[in-house]
Structure 1
Amino acid sequence: MDEYYWDTRIEYLRNSRDLFYNDDYLEFLVKMVWKIEAPVHIVDFGCGYGYLGLKLLPLLPQGSTYTGLDLGNKLLAEARQLFARLPYEASFIQGDIQQLQLDRKYDLAVCHAFLLHVSNPLDILQKMIDCVTDGGKVAAFEPHWIGNAANFYLHGFEQSQHVQLGLLQKLYELDAARSGKDGNIGLKLPLYMSQLGLTEIQCRVSDKVNVLYPRMEQEEKHKLYDDLRKSGYADAPGDREIFIDQLIARGATPEEAGVQYDNELLLSQQFNSESLLTYAANMKITFGKVERS
């Protein structure tokens, strides 16, 4: 059996997550927006190594529990090791989320950067709803890739020198039409949740803007630079002919593909630890209430 892809990407997942949220904003979300004042039972769809549990449990009332669901054995082994050191009640279920059947016993169903990777996000949202008790919540932390791409600025260069927003939007839309996997799902989730009957729907945006500049504290600077590099934000595009052929296969014109190659090559060559850079992942946090009566 082929190795599960995300089991090979644990290091990427660790590095990229720190770019998405400020802890004080998550605390504001839990305590001031969701107003969770009693212990809750959380289930996390596509939990990976338990990232959302690690972030949310310290903010929730004592006695809250966490259940993580994922296909990846290595991811769940990492999660179990991390949570074994912590004072929280956590359990993990390995299996294909498309097939898993869950009891209706959770107060909060969550997912993080998961729905964009499935071809049937409404079906998965319905599964999340079905396992939540009346009055509970469903919350999805998902990206809007084109907004993400627009929020990356490297000082000394026009943004158009390292990203073609029009081309990327076209490619994202064509990819979604072919596979059903939609990197721009973040802004669509309020409508999907409405279609599935959730109420009190809101969509928030993470407030984190990463700022890299030469005079910042050295340890912080090197961590941010490493996180950006290891997350692939300035990867060299590799062989020009292969890169261009792959973009053409996705729907780019030869001219668009050539310009995109040059853009990515320039970014990979110019970005370094002394760069002045701002980047906001702009993650969308969409949630709604389950009411069956």
Structure 2
Amino acid sequence: MKPKVFIDGEHGTTGLQIRSLLSGRDDIEIISAPVERRKDPRARAEFLNAADVAILCLPDDAARESVSLITNDTTRVIDASTAHRVAGGWEYGFPEMDKGQSDRIAKAMRVANPGCWPQGPIATLRPLVSAGLVPDGYAVTVNGISGYSGGGRPMIEDYVAKGEDAPEFLPYGLTLKHKHVPELKAYAKLKHDPIMQPAVGNFAQGMITVVPLQLAALPHVPKGADLHAAIADHFASIKGGMVEVAPYQEVERVPEIDPEVYNGTNRMRLYVFANDSRAQALLIAVYDNLGKGASGAAVQNLDLMLGLNS
């Protein structure tokens, strides 16, 4: 019998993407509530409890409600909201984060799918903190840009309506209360809240994150090659992962550092650039905010939990 998968919130941005990625698969069965019943808690409860895996693509409060509606001990959950990313009893759904993380996800009953913004900084910072090259008390700043699909349906509709008149570069999160800060702090192993300075661009999807490092402020100043080696060694130890590390080189620009280059994939590519004489470095991640940053990650986690190879 094929495992049953229920996407609670399948008509939202992430839900539609996941449904599209799963379409045509013959190794799972997608079950859906009738359109007229999809907002009925009784219908949601019925399908949540009938599923082998429920994928929640909902606002935080609705995601918590969905979990409360599950009354059996067999339905496993992937939550794409922010609600459970640092909650006890939930496994963080970034398979390449650590050696063995994919095995923990495979065995978990509850998996919190990562947010798009923290994944790049976690991928570059966590190996450095684990290796002792960057102290956990370092004051981290994250910059970057993502496509407007990261803002959900309201932002998508706004950008599409404005067309060429939409802002090319729009910083946001200026209250310094970005919702992804807690998970970035927790999984990058940081003691202090990082500053996140995100921006949205006039393109649909894709993203770049940048973590600048003032290495001279560190007790022991590493070289750029040391940073690159620690990150490369980490991801080389992850078998079957979707994260790759670019060769270490000194160049002014790299054409492939384009926010849209990995659109429609679950890939992430990491770069380390440094000026050793100035003791400064940049950690850059390029990936799709709807792929590795949302729906692609959810499908990767689903396959791990069901023991499938998509």
Same fold by TM-score, threshold 0.5 exceeded?
Answer: no
Q: TM-score, normalised by structure 2?
A: 0.30
Q: TM-score, normalised by structure 1?
A: 0.32
Higher relative CO (Cα under 8 Å, sequence separation at least 6) belongs to 1
